[in-house]
Amino acid sequence: YEFIKLNNPNRLEWQLNNNANIKGKSKILSELRSDRIDSDRINKKVAGVLNKKLIAQNKGRGEIKVLKAEDLAGEVRAVIERISELKNKDKEAGWDDFAILVRANDSAKEFCSALDAAGLPYQFLASRGLYSKPVILDVIAYLKLLDDYHESRAMYRVLNLPMFRFTHLELVELSNLAHRKAWSLFETMREADHLDFNPETKKKIIQVLMLISKHTASVRERSIGEMVLAFLNDSGYLKQITELPEEKSREQLGFLNQFMKRVQTFEAANDDKSVRQFLAEFALELDSGETGSLAPDPEAGPEAIKILTVHGAKGLEFKYVFAVSMVDRRFPTDERKEQIEVPEALIKEILPEGDIHLEEERRLFYVAMTRAKEGLYFSWAPDYGGSRQKKPSRFLVECDLVDSASPVILTPHSDAGKESRFEDGMKSLVANAPRDDRTKFKQADFRMPGYLSYTQLAAFSKCPYQYRFAHILKVPVKGKGVFSFGKTMHATLQKLYELLAERRGLGQAPLDLYANKGGEVVNVDKNLTGRATLFTGAGKEPDKNPTVKLEEVYGLYEQSWQDDWFESKEKKKEYRQKGRDILKVYYEKHKDNWPEVRATEQGFKLKIESAGSYYTVQGRIDRVDTVGGKLRLVDYKTGLPKDKLTFEEKEQLLIYQLAAPDLYREEVGSLVFYYLDNNTEVEFLGTPPELQKMKEQIITAVEKIKKGEFPPKPSMLCKWCDFFDICEYRQS
């Protein structure tokens, strides 16, 4: 509390209490009143501001200590040694209970290296630096080759990739010959048949040249996203990643998935989605100093010590927190002046008093402190390299943790014999850790997701190994034109019913509201998720038969069109016309009697209880209608109907039937698969035995997934699996 008060006079508490600042106080109260807050709320707000006493929610006392070492290496040892002591002492603590907070990503390198050397699990949750990851550099190098064969640096990186199996000696010979002849590496490889290379080397060279030739033939027609996935699959790069140890594989695939999001952002913003255009924009990003944002998930992956910036730790809590490199000019950092400062005379806002940069750094330090539940440890050292010794952070002085004149620091041990004690501590920690903590993580060592979807359950049922690829490793896969077409049709129909609701005089309710049969708006449980559009009465008699023209439907179709992943221009044209034909028949069928739609894209979270545990299944219902006072749940399919549905084919709608009553407090009257290809419907309703069987299947699947065992189930279906090329158990 006293530490925060150092950010006066910009705090509201100070301004309201300062008798010399009556004008400022009046202004604040005026602003509060201008927000239409009633008097009682103003008084409560002011009273709350005046009383900022912090009260701990946990019983007992926490531990706050400062660790000092002679240099950076000693600081790293002291931190890891204290983690060792705490882990051995607190038998309930897992690796996830420890966090090392740094002010900047660069300060984390030494801690990552030391934890790696000690064989301890850790996860570096950097917020920047995606473009410097080796897996991304590999992809970019190959893309550069497709744009310019003679980019020798890119070629050299590609030739070093493990799946091409070039030896160091072969690469040296290729490079030497290229320099001697003043050729690019590509030219050298192209002349391999006429040069003195052994047959095995020539075979490897031909493999690379054929891959480049294959992709060059399609690079003009394919988008950047398609070319990236073509490289990953055709080269064997993706298969190589999935064969790495589990935690390393997840990390690399995580980087790839984040890069693919960057690619998708580019494709959405540009008409020209080519490799060349992407590389041009990417080069401008790098020139501007952009390093690529990272969005790591602290809840994902196996248990590990978390290393992250203070910024990245906002909103998170850990049992034990280590704030490291607590020295001036590191925390707080030096202020960076704006390159072009705006004159104060041109600024309309009232500028705050004091050192704004220092106050912001102080707030960040407060964030770091409040991440800890039981133990908070600060570490620093006077020697971080360079000619000048460092002083402890002024924030440690302000918190009375050190004396600025002659720092009295609590150290873990004296410096004598620190090397041997550190080694002994590490040996003790590793020896007492569970087997999977001191060796590579087993495949089963993963976090159970907070919820499962029907897609996940279906994937696990078909083949647990496929589930591993898709939902644990999250291997990027090529899209399919038929899926793009399906998304287009779903989006078009959603927009159509939004337009109809608008013309009926119905509004779109907030996500936590819905209209019951009486027309009033009532609250429901927070089970809704996603971007559902719920239609509710707008205070007037609705138009039961609104008019929509076919041309308007076509317009919605063009707005919703997904242009990606079609096999060819001809196939894309064929699907585009097919969609128009389907919508025409759909329009003629319903134009005189549109269904009474309650919601579109309705999200839900279904909780199923078993033996005191709750399992959550999350999903989205395409359309919810009201027919005869009961709910009618509709799912669109872009295929042909089946003569008779099996239980497995009913599963998706059975889950919807289980979830709907909690959303609407109404009875489900029917379930419908609407087949768009021929505009026919298959309607049914799950029986009590079927619903019970569905619940039992969900519980069984979840229990199996929790075990972390994903055995392959090869079958004739393997040839249609997205992971056919990288699965060693596939059945041809």
Task: Compute the C-alpha angle 329/333/336, nearest 5°.
Answer: 115
Residue 703 has pLDDT above 70, yes or no: yes
Rounded-to-integer distance, Cα 553 and Cα 590, Å: 12
| Predicted pLDDT of residue 663 | 86
Provide mean pLDDT across the span 3-25: 63
| Predicted pLDDT of residue 225 | 92
Between residues 289 and 18, which one has the greater pLDDT? 289
| Predicted pLDDT of residue 55 | 66
Give 610's strand partners.
613
Between residues 26 and 712, which one has the greater pLDDT? 712
Q: What is the mean pLDDT of the chain?
A: 81
| pLDDT confidence tier of residue 717, bands split at 50, 70 and 90 | confident
Rounded-to-integer distance, Cα 1 and Cα 114, Å: 35
Which amino acid, one-letter code, is at 186?
F
pLDDT of 360-381, one tens digit each? 888 899 999 999 999 999 999 9
pLDDT of 136-153, one tens digit each? 999 999 999 998 888 899
Q: Among residues 549, 557, 559, which one has the least CA distance to residue 503?
A: 549
pLDDT of 561-617, one tens digit each? 988 888 888 899 999 999 999 999 999 999 988 999 999 999 998 988 877 778 889
* All residues at 6 or more sequence positions from 534 whose CB lies less than 8 Å from its CB, including other chains: 508, 509, 510, 511, 513, 514, 515, 598, 599, 602
Rounded-to-integer distance, Cα 501 and Cα 507, Å: 7
Provide mean pLDDT across the span 35-45: 54
Rounded-to-integer distance, Cα 667 and Cα 568, Å: 46
Q: Which range among 470-474, 527-531, 601-605 shows the weakest confidence by mean pLDDT?
A: 527-531
CA 339 to chain centre: 34
Upper half-sphere CA count for residue 585 (Cβ side, 13 Å)? 11
Residue 252 has pLDDT above 80, yes or no: yes
DSSP codes of every residue in 332-389: TBPP---SSPPPGGG--SPPPSS-HHHHHHHHHHHHHHTTEEEEEEEEE-SBSSSSSP
Q: Tokens at residue 731, please?
A: 């059945």
| Predicted pLDDT of residue 213 | 92
Upper half-sphere CA count for residue 84 (Cβ side, 13 Å)? 25
| Predicted pLDDT of residue 154 | 92
Phi, psi (deg, nearest 5) at residue 520: -80, 155
Residue 476 has pLDDT above 90, yes or no: no
